[in-house]
Amino acid sequence: MIINHPLLGPRDSAEFVVLGDACLIDRPDGMNATFEELHDYAYVRDNPAGEHRELWYHEQGDRSWLVVTRSTLTHEVIKVDLARDVARARGRSR
Amino acid sequence: MTQAMRIEGGMIDRERTLAFSWNGRWMTGYQGDTLASALLANGERLVGRSFKYHRPRGIFSSGSEEPSALVQLRDGAAQEPNTRATTVELFDGLIATSQNHRGPLAFDLMAVNDLLSPFLSAGFYYKTFMWPKAFWERVYEPLIRASAGLGRLPMQPDPDAYDHGFLHCDLLVVGAGPAGLSAALAASRTGLRVILADEDFVPGGRLNAETHEVDGQAGADWAAAATAELTASDRVRLMTRTTVFGAFDHGTYGALERRTDHLADAEGRPRQVLWRIYSRRALLAAGATERSIAFGNNDRPGIMLAGAVRAYANRFGVAPGRNVAVFTNNDDGLRTAEDLGGKGIEVSAVVDARRGNVVVDTIGRGGIRAIRLGDGRRVEADCLAVSGGWSPNVHLTCHHRGRPAWNAEIVGFVPGGELPPGMCVAGAANGTMTLAATIREGHEAAAGLAEDLGAKGSPGTPAKAVDEGFAASPFWQVTGLRKRAWVDLQNDVTTKDVRQSHQEGFRSVEHLKRYTTLGMATDQGRTANVLGLALMAEAAGKSIEETGTTIFRPPYTPVAIGAFGGRARGRHFRPFRLTPSHKWAEENGADFVEAGMWLRAQWFRQPGEKGWRDSVDREASQVRRSVGVCDVTTLGKIDIQGRDAAEFLNRVYANAFLKLPVGKVRYGLMLREDGICYDDGTTARLAETRFVMTTTTANAVLVFRNLEFARQCLWPDLDVHLISTTDGWAQFAVAGPNSRALLSKVVDDLDLSNDAFPFMACAECSVFGGTPARLFRISFSGELAYEIAVPARYGDSMIRALMKAGEAFDAVPYGTEALGVLRIEKGHVAGNEITGQTTARMLGLGGMLSRSKDAIGLKLSGREAMNADDGMCLAGFRPVDRSVILTAGAHFLNTGDPADMAHDQGWMTSVAYSPELGTSVGLGFLKRGKERIGETVRAYSPVRDQDILVEVCSPHHVDPDGVRQRG
Amino acid sequence: MAEITLEAAPVLGGTSLELSGNRIVERGDLAIVSIATPLGGGEALAEALRTGWSLDVPEPTRSSLDGTVRAIRTSPDQMMLIFPHATPDAEAVVQERLGGTGYTTDQTDSWIVLEVTGPDTLSAMERICPLDLPSLEIGGTGRTVMEHIGAMAIRTGDDAFLLLSASSSAGSFLHAVETSFRHVT
Amino acid sequence: MRYSALRILKEGLTGNRGWQPAWREPEPKPEYDIVIIGGGGHGLSTAYYLAKEFGERKVAVLEKGWLGSGNVGRNTTIIRSNYLLEGNQPFYEFSLKLWEGLEQDFNYNAMVSQRGILNLCHSDPQRDAFVRRGNAMRLSGADSVILGPDEVRRMCPYLDHESARFPITGALWQPRGGTVRHDAVAWGYARGADQRGVDIIQNCEVTGFDIRDGRCLGVETAKGPIKARKVAMCVAGSSSRVAALAGMRLPIESHVLQAFVSEGLKPVLPGVITFGAGHFYVSQSDKGGLVFGGDIDGYNTYAQRGNLPVVEDVCEGGMAIMPMIGRARLLRMWGGVMDMSMDGSPFIDRTHVEGLYLNAGWCYGGFKATPASGYCYAHLLATGQSHETARSFRLDRFRLGAMIDEKGVGAQPNLH
């Protein structure tokens, strides 16, 4: 598989580690969140047959976490963003 | 024997005679021969035996589709089972033997199976061998396994080297036949970066086997000219002997290049290279494969695909027979008669199914002697050329699970709708079965791709040729036979088996394949599958479209496991990581142990010590008595800097870190988000905005990854930065009552007194007159102890200097075993306790979990089942009989309870012999362990034949109040 | 203990190999210091690099050079300075010129640097490096994994590369590179 | 028709014309007591035991493709009960015991072959963990033996004992482990269920559920609506997709596990060998092929295919531990889609929808579980009670914090 790294260009997936559903970015704040919210965050993930947004880590590269939008039916990579930008766009900061 | 069947012409070098051995008999062939053509030249027709009935088998094809002529190539450790004689390039001294027979090839005892064939029909083994029950492993299966398999593995390590490799190109052209050559020429002229790969050792494909003309010259000559042009171009990489075996994601292709298989001796060079080819586009020009027709006894040696017959006559200068008969359902067969006629080989009959003529049976045991026709006539023939039509080689188009589509006009499956992205197909592989059209299609496909990739140059014009006649007909089998007719020559699947499969309800193509084993042999049914499907369709009274087809999976042709393995063998399977004191440790009698990729000194053997226990006891005692030094470089070290570094640590550790003062170290516990402990270590604050975290050796990479995740994905606007310094510092633990005294001789002007540099203090300093260093006062042994780090380049010098400075105290180096003894005595948890399944509460560290903050894992650590009152928790254990040695992995049972899972009370995690206490001590998890100190329980370890009583005690076997480490 | 002083030793003892016209040389003379960009401090750091060395912040996959000082980008907010320097105080030297505009870490001892040169360099690298080195321009860089070992490649000439890899596995890395040359020469 | 040596003799002498279809090809009835979704191994065994052990008469199995096309049709055929945790071990031992009587039970030779399974270890902590596991196996009535390096060498002289990167320090050996002819398992259960009146309906994809006020009343299918008192999902590999039709999200991800078979070779490996440190396990089929595999690719996918890095990783492991297979050729590679659950363990439970049941999350351990999974699922469906060996496989265990995490890697499906 080839991941089009937004900064480095096409790179072999063997350089990466896959974590899974990008919803793992949306960690509830443990002080305010309910137990149920934390449970869903930790255990319930999207598993679509089709377009999937997932977290990849360029461990053997520039150590960026990426959000890869990829089809789980064809493996086509539709979009790749720096996870940090995605996280900020989703309102995460400090 | 002197190549009795050799005839004029062909692409062989008659100046270069090569000697080879077949079943122990030496014969000769020429440079340019394959083993198959050389065997035929020497009149060898019987070359093997089929899998199930052990029927005689000859050479059936001239390529990688060969189902029958499988041999054991080479000898000794280099033996290659199941090697297709049709793809083996002849070399001087080649040794080959036939396989899958008992006794001589000509008198195979296993041929008795053929007589029993009525009782060995499809799936017979599913219906018997069930009684008596015990007989399966003892009697039936050994019998079945005795006849399993074809070739034999040498039971010695593969003597050859293999390599992997990586190539990048704009266009990968698969197949160097007319379509592929034409495409590669066009693409290279436009300036694309091209790779052209072909499995053969001579480019040209069928052009070398036929008598066609291209651009007014012999097809083979045109191919040679095209090859010359491509070789001259620096944009083109022409790879012969290279099979593109798989289409993977995003334009990645797997290819196997056979570098030295055609040589007598590889001279240490890799035998094969497994290439990973990254292409922007790929053009499949893999041609087509001829198939057979089902008629009586259509499996005898001497019965050969018509295209192969032409290949042997035209390319290899070999007569496949003295009088050849032809049985065909298309124009191709007729061409065979012409070519043979042109070579002066007698053609005894041309039987054209389209005119209602058929072959119903063949005569001859070890090889065909004559055929019987539908009208009863007998025709003498020592070779029968059969053409049942051609099947496009669509294999790679299916590797993304696209299904081929049936094309009634060419009577074959052609590439279906969904091709792997970036792939297109040209020539016979695409169902374009005539020469001129093939060349044009290859050219145009390449030109189109070049344009679409933005290449500027002109592709030029395609070569000219004439379209030969091609009229295929859907004639599959001769009906109303009394004799068996073969579909799959290797697995002995006959038309009866296909019918029976349908009769028993195995009607989907997948069931047919799995029940009859059709197409599951080493040739993957390349000459058989379509015939089998057609017969299934006829049996079901359906069309072939309705019946459907199974799809092809990688690899296109079988690939040696060694090639996939590449260099990763023996000691080089994975890299070694060595600590800076490794060389010194070797010089000082260390035994090493794997810790992940690291090698660590396990103990240092001294003269006179009988076993490892002597060394370990000595090292551990000497640490407690005086002082010892241990290389702890392998612990993960992460430099953490930034204005928000403290805040960041406070969120990734379960215990509080916000207020850790500069110059102090703190023990930290890391949880996963699910509330389970996964790592621990110490983190030191060197400056307001700078920390150094240590992780366990095993989890260094994982922790770093998780920290980066938290930094980039969870809290992107914290100012915190990470970089690993694990390899950058050589770090040594100096432990024992005399550690302060020793270090005061090492560290430059730094007050080490307890007040100035107390327990859990740290400082940047220098040693031995100016070498930069870091000093941490931490203890894993419970003794007064420090860890001192210097830049790795000084590591070797440092250990020598430390030991020198330690001579005054009889300082000892100690290894990981003594380290383990000391930490178990002290009751420190490590990998055997922090298994990724244990909670802080179980580890007796529940008190550390902060309730006043949010950190990863805190919330979910509060779940019901993880906090049950009868939950496991860490305890210490000692044998009631102090002389007994404890066993790690023993399970605890209450005395008097039965030994079953319902009564399981926990398990022993770590044990060690404590020289300090003179007994074996252990740590373990026990239900309500904390409350049960003083109780006696069973430590039950049946796999170690041990069932003993142990006393539950505090995990802190030594210095429970921690006086020593603070002293 | 004045009588003892510590000696620095190159990881591979200063290996230098000649393989039919190609060379593999351990570069023990280079110091490596990483610089992390403080959040929101990009401008100041860039300025400090310009004044300190007349270096631009390198683009990803590129290096920027000031004589013998090379800067390469290792991650979005981190770069490495590579320059000849003998004593173990490289970080202090860099820190001084940066004047606190970046977070520095001395990486000299974390890495081994191999210089590979010679006519067969590209075909040797083909056997272990998944990067498209033939079309990497001079000065280009890439980090990847070779024979299970993390490594960085910097192209310094048509047939010349600097290869960086972790110092603890230097022996295995050298073996991988050396074997590649032996397999193609 | 009963299968036996005698029958084969008779048919052989009469041209094999008398063989009956192994199963009917019925059209679906409008209503059943129990409808099982999925004609893979677990679905078929569930139907078989429902009919045979629990006297259920009106049962249908709906299969979207051909029967046996689930992961039972593409796996590495290993059976074993060498688990560690209390939640797992008794269940897999129950399964192994069912395997041991299976062929006589359903009159079909599935070639259950107990030639043993050997798990190699390479360090002291690993050995300690194997001792703990071996003892746990004994506590649940299974067999287990801890072998030292010399015993391993005697048993498998062809392994790399000298120059291995990770020297073999011992092994956990389960003599009763082994392999089974996987397709035959599906066919045997199908035939047995069919003979007991179960309707096995192929090419009948379920397209929706008929759920009204929290009750499941039936399913929509390619062949029309079918009513049922109870509907049992049994579609590992597609669990999330089918559950989504009922508005459920499962703690499951779909991943591909690749497997490989070599050309046929004269037998060299007696049993199963696993080399954990190198992500490699192997056995040899009765046809002579080396059947081997390793880890999952690691990315979510429903495409039944994987990629090169894992193929190489697996073969590297093979060459490292068994360098004598270098010249054997890899003949075929394939990928099966696995239900990877959040703790690596399965679910056999009811759902929040009344009358709708779930059997899922088998990761890559589903094949060996086929008999017990079917038996326990049938037990739950017929009696309303969880079978004693399957009590821990609850759908709500993550809420309780009662994970069954054999590998200790937490809520990360691609690491289990």
Instruction: Using DSSP bridges, classify how beta strands D289-300 and D280-284 pair: parallel, antiparallel or unpaired.
Output: antiparallel
Residue B759 tokens, joined: 């327990």
pLDDT at D163 over 90: no
Decide if C5 is inside a domain.
Answer: no
Residues of D in contact with B675 (CB under 8 A): 401
- Residue C80 and residue C137 share a domain: no
The answer to whether the beta carbons of residues B162 and B562 sit under 8 Å apart is: yes
Q: How many domains does the structure of chain D reveal?
A: 2
Residue D228 belongs to a domain: yes
pLDDT tens digit string along B110-141? 999 999 999 999 999 999 988 888 888 888 88
Give yes or no: residues C102 and C36 share one domain: yes
The overall pTM is greater than 0.90: yes
Same domain, yes or no: D122 and D162: yes
Check: CB of residue D334 under 8 Å from CB of residue D304.
yes
Regions of chain B where pLDDT drops below 70: 1
In a domain, C155, yes or no: yes
**Full domain range(s) for residue D271:** 114-176+253-341
In a domain, residue C45? The reply is yes
Verify that C104 and C122 share a domain, yes or no.
no
pLDDT tens sequence across B593-626: 999 999 999 999 999 999 999 999 999 999 999 9
Please determine, for residue D124, whether its predicted confidence score (pLDDT) is greater than 70: yes
Please name the member of B644, B860, B862 whose beta carbon is closest to the beta carbon of A42: B860
The pLDDT value recorded for residue B869 is 84
**Does residue B555 have a cis bond before it (omega within 30 degrees)?**
yes
**Claim to verify: residue C92 and residue C116 sit in the same structural domain:** no
Q: Give domain status of residue C4, yes or no.
A: no
How far apart, in whole angstroms, are the C-alpha atoms of residue B108 and residue B103?
5
Q: Percent helix, strand and coil across chain B, each rounded to 5?
A: 25, 30, 45
The reported pLDDT for the residue numbered C2 is 52
Share of chain A above pLDDT 90, in %: 98
Are C125 and C103 within one domain?
Answer: no
* One domain, residues D218 and D327: no
Output the average pLDDT for chain D. 96
Are both D369 and D411 inside the same structural domain?
A: yes
Question: Which residues of chain D have a Cβ shorter than 8 Å from any chain A Cβ?
Answer: 240-241, 249-254, 298-303, 307, 309, 342, 398-399, 411-414
Count Cα atoms within 13 angstroms, Cβ side, for C96.
5
Let me know the angle formed at the C-alpha of B917 by B912 and B919, rounded to the nearest 5 degrees. Answer: 50
Contacts of D20 in chain B (CB under 8 A): 504
Does residue D145 share a domain with residue D165? yes
C95 and C62 share one domain: yes
Window 236-295 of B, Cβ < 8 Å to A: 248-252, 276, 278
Confidence of residue D134 (pLDDT cuts 50, 70, 90): very high
Pairing label, strands B812-813, B628-631: parallel
Assess whether C102 and C35 both reside in one domain: yes
Domain boundary among D311, D341, D371: D341
What ipTM was estimated for this complex?
0.97
D298 within a domain of the structure (yes/no):
yes
Q: How many domains does chain A contain in total?
A: 1
Q: Does the residue D327 lie in any domain?
A: yes
Q: Is B102 on the interface with A (CB under 8 A)?
A: no
- C68 assigned to some structural domain: yes
What is the DSSP pairing of strand A77-82 with strand A65-71? antiparallel
Residue D80's nearest CA partner among D261, D274, D217 is D274
Do the beta carbons of residue B857 and residue B678 sit within 8 Å?
A: no
Residues of D in contact with A41 (CB under 8 A): none
Provide the shortest C-alpha distance from residue C56 to chain B (in Å). 21
Shared-domain flag, residues D365 and D397: yes
* Mean pLDDT of all residues in D46-61: 97
| Same-domain pairing of D231 and D360 | yes
- Distance of alpha carbon B440 from alpha carbon D403, whole angstroms: 63
Residue A94 belongs to some domain of the structure? no
CA distance B728 to chain C (A): 4
**Which of C29, C109, C112, C123 to probe by mutation at the B interface, max B CB count within 10 Å?**
C109
- B145: helix, coil or strand? helix
**pLDDT interval class at D209 (50, 70, 90):** very high
User: What is the domain-level CATH number for residue A36?
Assistant: 3.30.2270.10
Is residue A62 included in any domain, yes or no? yes
Same domain, D259 and D294: yes
**Same domain? D261 vs D227:** no
Would the CB atoms of A94 and B717 count as touching at under 8 Å? yes
Structural domain contains residue D309: yes
Q: Which chains touch C (3 or more CB pairs under 8 A)?
A: A, B
Q: Which amino acid is at D280?
A: F
Residues 6 or more apart whose CB falls under 8 angstroms from that of B662 comprise B685, B686, B687, B688
Distance CA C77, CA B722 (A): 10
pLDDT of B470: 86
Q: Which residues of A touch D403 (CB under 8 A)?
A: none
Same domain, D262 and D155: yes
**In this complex, which of D66, D267, D401 lies closest to B865 when CB atoms are compared?**
D401
For residue B186, the one-letter residue type is A
According to DSSP, the β-strands at B194-197 and B236-239 are: parallel
Residue at D82 is within a domain: no
The answer for residues whose C-beta is within 8 angstroms of residue B898's C-beta and 6 or more apart is none
Residue C1 has pLDDT above 80, yes or no: no
Cβ partners under 8 Å of residue B847, min gap 6: none
Sign of CA dihedral B315, B319, B321, B324: positive
Chain-chain contact of B728 with C110 (C-beta, under 8 angstroms): yes
Tokens of B769: 């007159």
Q: Using an 8 Å Cβ cutoff, are B908 and B923 in contact?
A: yes
Chain A contact set for D253 (CB, 8 A): 20-21, 45, 47
Question: Chain B, 926-965: which have a CB under 8 Å from a chain D CB?
Answer: 940-944
* A2 CB within 8 Å of a chain D CB: no
Cβ neighbours, 10 Å, residue B140: 19
Enumerate neighbours of D (3 or more CB pairs within 8 A). A, B
Each residue of D63-93: pLDDT tens digit?
999 999 999 999 999 999 999 999 999 999 9
Of C61, C87, C108, which marks where a domain is finished?
C108
- Among D341, D356, D377, which residue terminates a domain? D341
Residue of A nearest to C129 (CA): A12
Q: Is the peptide bond before B132 cis (omega within 30 degrees of 0)?
A: yes
Which residues, numbered 562 to 581 in chain B, qualify as contacts with chain C under a Cβ-Cβ cut-off of 8 Å?
567-568, 572, 574-579
- The residue range of the domain holding A6 is 2-89
Q: Are residues D282 and D170 in the same domain?
A: yes
pLDDT at A60 over 90: yes
Residue A47 lies in a domain: yes
Subunits with 3+ Cβ pairs within 8 Å of A are: B, C, D
Measure the CA–CA gap between B891 and B366, rounded to whole angstroms. Answer: 66
Contacts of C147 in chain B (CB under 8 A): 567-568, 572, 575
Same domain, D172 and D259: yes
D367 & D246 share domain:
yes
- Of C77, C108, C139, the residue that ends a domain is C108
Instruction: Identify the CA nearest to C80 among candidates C96, C67, C91, C88.
Output: C91
Q: How far are the Cα atoms of B36, B84, B175, B245, B880 from residue B262, in angstroms, in the given order?
A: 14, 13, 20, 19, 70
- The answer to the question of residue A72 being in a domain is yes
Which of D323, D341, D359 is the C-terminal boundary of a domain?
Answer: D341
Q: Which residues of C touch A61 (CB under 8 A)?
A: 143-144
A75 closest CB neighbour out of D301, D398, D411: D301
Question: Which CATH number goes with the domain that contains C66?
Answer: 3.30.70.1520
Say how many domains are in chain C. Answer: 2
Q: What is the CATH number of the domain that holds D143?
A: 3.30.9.10
β-pair type (C22-26, B812-813): unpaired
Q: B485 and B296 in contact (C-beta within 8 Å)? A: yes
| C-alpha to C-alpha distances, B232 to B9, B185, B202, D157, nearest whole angstrom | 28, 11, 16, 51
Q: Which domain holds residue C168?
A: 16-27+110-184
- Paired with B323 in beta bridges are B346
Task: Report pLDDT digits (tens) over C97-135.
Answer: 999 999 999 999 999 999 999 999 999 999 999 999 999
| Contact yes or no for B900 and D139 at CB 8 A | yes
**Strand ranges (E), chain A:** 2-5, 9-12, 17-21, 51-57, 65-71, 77-82
Residues of C in contact with A60 (CB under 8 A): 143-145, 150
- Domains in chain B (CATH in brackets) are 162-288+393-452 (3.50.50.60), 295-386 (3.50.50.60), 484-557 (1.10.10.1100), 577-634+728-822 (3.30.1360.120), 637-706 (3.30.70.1400), 870-959+963-967 (2.40.30.110)
Of the candidates C108, C139, C159, which is a domain's last residue?
A: C108
What are the φ/ψ torsions at residue B409 (nearest 5 degrees)?
Answer: -70, -45
Pair (C162, C137) in one structural domain: yes
- Give yes or no: residues C130 and C103 share one domain: no
Of B124, B558, B566, the CB nearest to D263: B558
Instruction: Kindly state whether residue C2 falls inside one of the protein's structural domains.
Output: no
Contact A4, A50 (CB under 8 A): no
Same-domain status, C115 and C100: no
Q: Chain D residue closest to A39 (CA)?
A: D399
